[in-house]
Amino acid sequence: QSALTQPASVSGSPGQSITISCTGTTSDIGAYNYVSWYQQHPGKAPKLMIYDVSDRPSGVSTRFSGSKSGNTASLTISGLQAEDEADYYCSSSATSSTLVFGGGTKLTVL
């Protein structure tokens, strides 16, 4: 169960778009359309932002979108806002029951 690979940090200015990548293997991201993304502000619990690769839960801004190609998933945030500054984690099913997380990406809004 090796962690998925994410960049340690990304940054962007307000109004810009950024993309966070998440690379796995043929055993996790490549095997399942069960990629999810979580936002975590300091000292808070994670919050689900994207599930099933590209679906948004009710209440999550349409500025957040997800995609997948092969063993790599991506989270794109458009129209960057100050409140988007947080840590972001990807996750994938690793078997029919288990999960694996990425190492996390710190998003800085300049």
Partner 1 sequence: QVQLVESGGGVVQPGKSLRLSCVASGFTFNYYGMHWVRQAPGKGLEWVAIISYDGGDKHYGDSVRGRFTISRDNSKNTLYLQVNSLRAEDTSVYYCARGADGYIDYWGRGTLVSVSS
Residues that bind partner 1 (CB under 8 A): 1, 3, 32-34, 36, 38, 40, 45-48, 51-52, 57, 89, 91-93, 95, 97-104
Nearer to partner 1, 1 or 17 (CB): 1
Min dist CB 48 to partner 1, Å, is 5
Contact 66, 50 (CB under 8 A): yes
CA gap 18, 13 in Å, rounded: 9
CA gap 84, 44 in Å, rounded: 14
Nearer to partner 1, 12 or 104 (CB): 104
Sign, CA torsion 34/12/40/57: negative
Nearer to partner 1, 16 or 98 (CB): 98
- What are the angstrom distances between the C-alpha of 94 and each of 7, 79, 88, 99? 20, 32, 19, 5
Min dist CB 72 to partner 1, Å, is 17
Min dist CB 89 to partner 1, Å, is 5
Min dist CB 49 to partner 1, Å, is 11
